Structure 1
Amino acid sequence: MTAADDVRDPSLPGRLLTVERDALLPLLRSRPDADFALPAAACPGWTVRDVLAHCSAALIRVVESRLEKGVFSPESNDRDIADRADWTNARVLDELERGMTEAGEVIAGRADGVLDGIAFGEWVHAGDVRDSLGEPGAYTGAGGPYALSLLARVTRERGRLRLHADLDDVDEPLQLGATSGTRTPARFIGDTATLVRLYTGRAVDGALYELMGAEAKELNLFG
């Protein structure tokens, strides 16, 4: 994968959500209720259920165009989770499935691409859930190529530091961050999951990778 195309692909977020829906929902529906109460290591203070409730609420806000000022703030997220406190786990999953099915079309319709990052965030939270449940495939899997394309675009549009990534599990190198600048591009060697963890502030304990020309904290999109 080379540098991301400058022309936005409006269908990309929807494809990522659909692929992740088809992989994640059957897994979640097969798990006992007790698993939903497990702590979500990547989201301190939240359980697996809280992460899923946040994800479903965020997508339904997109679907229903309820994106008022302050939405997705920590306070707003906590309110969305609290609003679903009396729901069954099955109802949370039903809402999540609806959101992952319908949000892509709405996101595609925003010509400015301002909502594209929501699909990436949902995919990352799906990785958080897998990680918390001890399931393989966190921050990788079938949605990985779509997620990497979105990550490349987001980092470029935000003018983040330039980085050349040689990924063990992807055939072509990935270019992230700004397309120009005086600073020598950083270089990453490792796998997709570790790269995503670095860019999203997730723990990389025990991961084998090399990062040259930058510190890990410089990659964190949320730091």
Structure 2
Amino acid sequence: MTDDMREKDLPHRLLTAERDVFIPLLRRTAPEAFALRTAGCPDWTVRQVLAHCHAVLVRVIENRLGPGVFSPASNAADVAERDTWPLDRLVDGLESAMTEAGPVLAAHENRRLSLVALGEWVHAGDVRDTLGEPGAYAAADDAVFDLLAFGSRLRKTPLVHAELTDRAEPLVLGEPDADRAPARLVTDAPTLVRLYAGRPLNGAHFELAGAEAAELNIFG
């Protein structure tokens, strides 16, 4: 991956690919399921996670990114603003926002905002996990791995050489440290996502030497 994330258009690629599978899932989900609490964000229901996802993308699209944005208080206010929306309006709005936000993220001067697309994808995984869908955090697009690596460098997590049992190519994540040897991780792709997104592992198997799991979270 080049240093210029915009050249590869990763946020747009990931958001549009996720939109095409996630929105149809939401449209066929029973209304009562939107009231379920999510394991990835236990303070929020499925509906509230979707409200948060919509709010974040709208803020990006409208360039409403001032001080305090994405703080717990700001997130709570954005979610509350959508509490009375019909489900159809919320899902329709999320579909539109996932379509419009990618090019905005790609063009934005703050490259850190590229991680918004990854956060949206992880939250979609939170919803799939709660609904009992298979492959909740399975990455079908290499954009997920590229953005994970980018986020791990931004957050300066330990340098990790990751061998994925369900992917041919190894990954290198995190920042080198002259005083610390690279760590080694062996696991599958969904567990890698859970580790780096700070999601419950649910007994998933992984071998990690040279680092602690808590050090890998790029969203904590």
Residue among 91, 94, 104 paired with 1:93: 91
Please name the residue that 1:194 is paired with: 191
Stretches of 4+ aligned residues off by more than 3 angstroms: 4-7
CA RMSD of aligned residues (A): 1.3
How do residues 107-146 of structure 1 correspond to structure 2 at under 5 angstroms? 107-143=105-141, 145-146=142-143
Aligned length: 219
Residue among 139, 146, 150 paired with 1:149: 146
Q: Contact 2:176 / 2:182 at 8 angstroms: preserved in 1?
A: no
Task: Give unpaired runs (5+ residues) of structure 1.
Answer: none
Please name the residue that 1:158 is paired with: 155
Identity among equivalent pairs (%): 54
Instruction: Give the 3-state SS of the residue equivalent to 1:203 in structure 2.
Output: coil
Instruction: Give the 3-state SS of the residue equivalent to 1:114 in structure 2.
Output: helix
Q: Contact 2:13 / 2:102 at 8 angstroms: preserved in 1?
A: yes
Please name the residue that 2:204 is paired with: 207
TM-score, normalized by length of structure 2?
0.95
Tell me, in whole angstroms, the C-alpha distance in 2 between the residues paired with 1:96 and 1:204. Answer: 27
Of 84-93 and 213-222, the range deviating more from structure 2: 213-222
Deviation readout 1:134-184 (Å, 9 max, x if unpaired):
0012111423x2111001012113322100000112111000011453311
Of 59-68 and 125-134, the range deviating more from structure 2: 59-68
Residue among 171, 183, 198 paired with 1:174: 171
TM-score, normalized by length of structure 1?
0.94
Please name the residue that 1:79 is paired with: 77
State the shift of 1:101 in Å: 0.2
Please name the residue that 2:67 is paired with: 69
Tell me, in whole angstroms, the C-alpha distance in 1 between the residues paired with 2:106 and 2:168. Answer: 28
How do residues 35-46 of structure 1 correspond to structure 2 at under 5 angstroms? 35-46=33-44
State the shift of 1:68 in Å: 1.7
Please name the residue that 2:50 is paired with: 52
Residue among 23, 31, 34 paired with 1:33: 31
Please say if 1:219 is aligned against 2:200. no
Tell me, in whole angstroms, the C-alpha distance in 1 between the residues paired with 2:215 and 2:177. Answer: 17
Residue among 5, 8, 29 paired with 2:5: 8
Of 133-142 and 86-95, the range deviating more from structure 2: 133-142
Q: Which amino acid aligns with 2:2?
A: D
Tell me, in whole angstroms, the C-alpha distance in 2 between the residues paired with 1:148 and 1:141. Answer: 8
Q: Which amino acid aligns with 1:94?
A: D
